């Protein structure tokens, strides 16, 4: 007997498929196969139906004496119509890559960085934002996923080396959702969220 976890899409699909196969002794094989196909197709369409749009924000708040970076997701309707703007400090990592499409494959061939400077009470900070590319082959594993990374420098020295908001395109590693730089102390505070809460 096969045992599946009901907490995953694959587990639920496997469980239902096995129930149907056990019933097949009393059912027409064609009907049984049709039910298996419908359940399998339905389980994969749930994740493919909704497009997710990554959103990274940057804010230099001299009055509050802080710099804030955020990392979040926009859902289908909002994301498709969202106006990313350097003026507003809103960025999509997809806008920071150059993609080459051919009949054979679709690849990321070049990336670019956004560099912002902010003067707080302790001095000038430089924030660098860039894409976190999981796979340059967009047709491969993780090719449809992308995130961002940041570097924080003070007086020409990296006080926070290049750090991805998201380390991997899958798994259970936590995801950075907020970074705050405090001008008074120079402290960099990072907030993380479990992956299952982020997505």
CA distance 136 to 142: 9
Nearest to 69 by CA among 13, 125, 134: 125
Is pLDDT at 86 greater than 80 in this prediction?
yes
Choose the weakest-confidence range: 3-17, 136-150, 161-175: 3-17
CA distance 66 to 37: 54
Nearest to 181 by CA among 65, 57, 56: 65
9 vs 119 pLDDT, higher one = 119
**The pLDDT of residue 103:** 83
Average pLDDT, the chain: 81
Residue 146: how many other CB atoms lie within 10 Å: 21
**The pLDDT of residue 154:** 97
43 contacts 23 by C-beta, under 8 angstroms = no
Nearest to 30 by CA among 41, 20, 44, 18: 20
181 contacts 152 by C-beta, under 8 angstroms = yes
Is pLDDT at 24 greater than 70 in this prediction?
no
Residue 36: band (very low, low, confident or very high) from pLDDT cuts 50, 70, 90: very low
**The pLDDT of residue 194:** 95
Residue 105: how many other CB atoms lie within 10 Å: 13
Which SS3 state, helix, strand or coil, does residue 37 take? helix
85 vs 105 pLDDT, higher one = 85
Question: Where are the domains positioned within the chain?
Answer: 9-49, 53-198
Residue showing tokens 């505070």: 189
164 contacts 145 by C-beta, under 8 angstroms = no
Q: What value does the mean pLDDT take over residues 105-113?
A: 94
Q: Residues with Cβ < 8 Å from 36, sequence gap 6 or more?
A: 17, 20, 21
C-alpha neighbours within 13 Å on the C-beta side of residue 33: 3
């Amino acid at each position: 007997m096969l045992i599946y976890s009901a907490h995953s899409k694959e587990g639920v699909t496997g469980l239902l498929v096995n129930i149907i196969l056990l019933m097949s002794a009393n059912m027409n094989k064609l009907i049984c196969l049709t039910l298996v196909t419908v359940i399998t197709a339905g389980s994969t369409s749930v994740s493919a139906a909704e497009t997710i749009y990554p959103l990274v924000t940057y804010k230099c708040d001299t009055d509050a004496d802080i710099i804030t970076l955020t990392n979040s997701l926009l859902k289908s309707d909002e994301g498709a119509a969202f106006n990313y703007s350097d003026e507003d400090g809103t960025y999509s990592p997809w806008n920071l890559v150059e993609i080459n499409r051919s009949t054979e494959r679709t690849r990321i061939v070049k990336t670019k960085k956004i560099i912002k400077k902010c003067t707080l009470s302790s001095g000038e900070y430089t924030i660098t934002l860039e894409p976190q590319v999981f796979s340059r082959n967009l047709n491969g594993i993780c090719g449809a996923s992308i995130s961002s990374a940041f570097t924080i420098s003070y007086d020409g020295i990296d006080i926070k080396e290049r750090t991805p908001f998201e380390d991997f395109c899958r798994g259970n590693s936590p995801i950075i959702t907020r970074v705050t730089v405090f001008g008074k102390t120079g402290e960099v505070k990072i907030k993380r969220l479990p992956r299952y809460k982020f997505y």
